[in-house]
A and B are shown apart, each in its own frame.
Chain A
Amino acid sequence: MDIAPILVTLKLASITTGILLILGTPLAWWLSQTKNKLKTVLESVVALPLVLPPTVLGFYLLMALSPDGFVGGLWATISDSPLSFSFTGLVIGSVIYSMPFVVQPLQASFEMVGKPIQQASYSLGANQFDTFINVVLPLSMRGFLVAITLGFAHTVGEFGVVLMIGGNIPEVTQVLSIVIYDHVEVLEYQQAHAYSAGLLIFSFIVLFITYSLNKKLMVRL
């Protein structure tokens, strides 16, 4: 069994989750605090991947990432390699595709921490940044746990978007879900079975660990 697709998948999911935490945390925080009218617009945009067929998202990403596209064109000015059918392109697609699975749980947990606790922190001499780092973040641990799990798992399970923009290049953009599809198409059920069962067990273990941790955290928070 070729383990390259497994490695590509894990690498993609890890990098995507990492980027999503960096981008998603401030975005979720802003959404949880603001009364700005733009809030609803942004919330809707973030949630779009939940309702759009991955092919639609994939199609527009393909357009944008191609050397003639807006993003792809910009990329071409700073890099020799094209963005479409590359691992970087896949990361960009995954970040957009998995965005709601990270931002929404974070936003919900920030909202649950609430203004009153922040006010208590201010009144004890902690400024906004201090309060965020030392009060809000620790109290949002469960939200982060859920965000990381869902962001990671959803990226692992990604199929449609990857199919559209990934190109199925072995050891570069060929991820598990695609490999399984390829095997089924040529009736290699044995191989498809091996990958599928592995993915099933892996997903179960990840979710099981998350829910156990979540219960442990719940006692405290």
Chain B
Amino acid sequence: MKHIKIAYKTKLNNFQLDVAFEIPDQGISVLFGPSGSGKSSVLNHVSGLDDRSDVEYAKLELNNVVYDDSENNIKLNPWLRKIAYVFQDNRLFSNMTVLQNIYFGYKRRQSTLDVNKVIEKFKIKNLLQHYPEQLSGGQKQRVSMVRALLSNPQLLIMDEPLAALDYQSREELLPYIECIHKELTIPVIYVSHDIKEVLRLADYIVVMNQGKVIDKGELANLCVSQPLLTQAEGASFILQGEVEKVFVDEKLLQIKCENQSLFITGQGVKAGDALRILIHAKDVSLCLTPAEHSSILNCIAVIVHSINDKSDGKYEITAKLGEQLIVAMISYRSVKALGLEQGKAVFAQFKATAMIK
């Protein structure tokens, strides 16, 4: 498989940005990390929009073509890079209609994509004669995605395209982004600090903090190998399983995970589908005997793996469910009361927060 090679070393306002990584040339690679961790700077480097003043090292290779190489003084101008950009603030041309907007890149890049098909896919046909100011935030962002896609890029970068939108528009837009992923073969670099977006969209993930890459890998592997992504909303983790049964009336799914059964509300999947479930560590409780007559449906047998003092009265317990890990945040009193220690068999109860296809 071909890779996109990215390396960038420069001084930001308060820290040094120093990254070097490769991402697959297909699927969605999410650049994940808290605000101010240097994600956008990396994007500006990739797109060529940075004004290179004190860059120490820069390299970018896309499909074996060198776009950027500071050592040999190569830096391709942004308009010569076949990289399209979807900005957080849409940046549509306000003096042009939607149609003129989406043809802007199409004409200049001599694209041969099927315009009507993309217009249909993104359901913007009835917006074509409108001006951007007449559109809602969600519609604008849809148009800006179409504009970027129609320029026939070899790489699409999206900088928190949902961050400026309200919850409902975000939910509406996510399927379109998934559609880019499934139906077009363009690799995508997606920047986000929203864990839910990451889990829903990412195939590959690069976790950044303070200008450094602190972890990277395929989302599936990353999730199994470590309780991850603790930056947002407290610690959370992911379980992978397979839909066993769908209770249509109850909108409930039975998931088989490491030979045990979990339940989660959800629809739109069928038996046999692979599924990922997001669970917040604070929603997990541990007990020595399986609870009966509880409103919490999920109660699974696990083996305590590690006990970490988080020094704020909370203990982070990781436990093994077969090959996968779960994480529970409980008080010191509970740790003592249950006599928790490595290797002890306990039961974990939790509400599953969200399912991720």
Given A116-B87, A220-B131: A123 in contact with B95 (beta carbons within 8 A): no
- Chain A 119-138 interface residues, beta-carbon cutoff 8 Å to B: 119-128, 130, 135, 138
A117 adjacent to chain B (CB < 8 Å) = yes
Given A138-B95, A220-B95: A123 in contact with B84 (beta carbons within 8 A): yes
Structural contact, A139 and B77, CB atoms closer than 8 A: no
Given contacts A122-B77, A124-B148, A126-B79, 13 further A-B contacts (CB under 8 A): A120-B92, A122-B48, A122-B49, A123-B79, A123-B148, A124-B151, A125-B79, A125-B105, A125-B108, A126-B104, A127-B79, A138-B96, A139-B95
Please indicate the chain A residues that have their CB under 8 angstroms from the CB of B87 in the complex. 116, 119-120
Q: Residue-by-residue, is A209-221 near B (CB-CB < 8 Å gives 1, otherwise 0)?
A: 0000000000011
20 pairs, A vs B, C-beta closer than 8 Å: A116-B89, A117-B93, A119-B47, A119-B87, A121-B93, A123-B47, A123-B84, A123-B148, A124-B79, A124-B84, A124-B104, A124-B109, A126-B79, A126-B108, A127-B77, A139-B93, A139-B94, A139-B95, A141-B95, A220-B95
Q: Residue-by-residue, is B83-102 near A (CB-CB < 8 Å gives 1, otherwise 0)?
A: 11101010111111000000
B78 adjacent to chain A (CB < 8 Å) = yes
Chain B contact residue count (CB 8 A cutoff) = 26
Residue among A116, A122, A125, A126 with max Cβ neighbours from chain B (10 Å): A125
Please indicate the chain B residues that have their CB under 8 angstroms from the CB of A121 in the complex. 93, 104
Structural contact, B78 and A119, CB atoms closer than 8 A: yes
- Chain B 91-147 interface residues, beta-carbon cutoff 8 Å to A: 91-96, 104-105, 108-109, 131, 133, 147
Closest to B83 in A: A123
Q: How far is the CA of A26 from the CA of B230 in the complex (A)?
A: 51
Please indicate the chain B residues that have their CB under 8 angstroms from the CB of A120 in the complex. 85, 87, 91-93
- Chain A 80-130 interface residues, beta-carbon cutoff 8 Å to B: 116-117, 119-128, 130
Structural contact, B79 and A220, CB atoms closer than 8 A: no
Closest to A117 in B: B91
Q: How far is the CA of A126 from the CA of B49 in the complex (A)?
A: 13
A-B contact count (CB 8 A): 67
Q: How far is the CA of A9 from the CA of B314 in the complex (A)?
A: 84
Structural contact, B84 and A221, CB atoms closer than 8 A: no
- The residue that B94 contacts in the complex, of A125, A130, A220, with Cβ under 8 A, is A220
Q: Chain B: residues with CB nearer than 8 A to chain A?
A: 47-49, 77-79, 83-85, 87, 89, 91-96, 104-105, 108-109, 131, 133, 147-148, 151
Q: How far is the CA of A135 from the CA of B105 in the complex (A)?
A: 12
Structural contact, B91 and A119, CB atoms closer than 8 A: yes
Q: How far is the CA of A120 from the CA of B104 in the complex (A)?
A: 10
Q: How far is the CA of A127 from the CA of B80 in the complex (A)?
A: 8
Chain A contact residue count (CB 8 A cutoff) = 19
Please indicate the chain B residues that have their CB under 8 angstroms from the CB of A127 in the complex. 77, 79
Structural contact, B109 and A125, CB atoms closer than 8 A: yes
Structural contact, B94 and A124, CB atoms closer than 8 A: no
Please indicate the chain B residues that have their CB under 8 angstroms from the CB of A119 in the complex. 47, 49, 78, 85, 87, 91
Please indicate the chain A residues that have their CB under 8 angstroms from the CB of B147 in the complex. 124
Given A119-B91, A135-B93, A138-B95: A124 in contact with B77 (beta carbons within 8 A): no
Please indicate the chain A residues that have their CB under 8 angstroms from the CB of B104 in the complex. 121, 124, 126
Q: How far is the CA of A196 from the CA of B83 in the complex (A)?
A: 61
Structural contact, B49 and A124, CB atoms closer than 8 A: no
Q: How far is the CA of A127 from the CA of B108 in the complex (A)?
A: 10
Closest to B107 in A: A125
Please indicate the chain A residues that have their CB under 8 angstroms from the CB of B77 in the complex. 122, 127
Please indicate the chain A residues that have their CB under 8 angstroms from the CB of B133 in the complex. 220
Please indicate the chain A residues that have their CB under 8 angstroms from the CB of B85 in the complex. 119-120, 123
Structural contact, A221 and B47, CB atoms closer than 8 A: no
Closest to B44 in A: A119
A187 to chain B, nearest CB (A): 54
Please indicate the chain B residues that have their CB under 8 angstroms from the CB of A128 in the complex. 79
Residue among B78, B92, B151 with max Cβ neighbours from chain A (10 Å): B78
Q: How far is the CA of A189 from the CA of B147 in the complex (A)?
A: 65
Q: How far is the CA of A138 from the CA of B131 in the complex (A)?
A: 14
Q: How far is the CA of A139 from the CA of B93 in the complex (A)?
A: 8
Structural contact, A123 and B93, CB atoms closer than 8 A: no
- Closest A-B pairs by Cβ, 9 of them: A124-B105, A125-B108, A120-B91, A123-B85, A122-B78, A125-B109, A138-B95, A127-B79, A122-B79
Closest to A114 in B: B91
B211 to chain A, nearest CB (A): 22
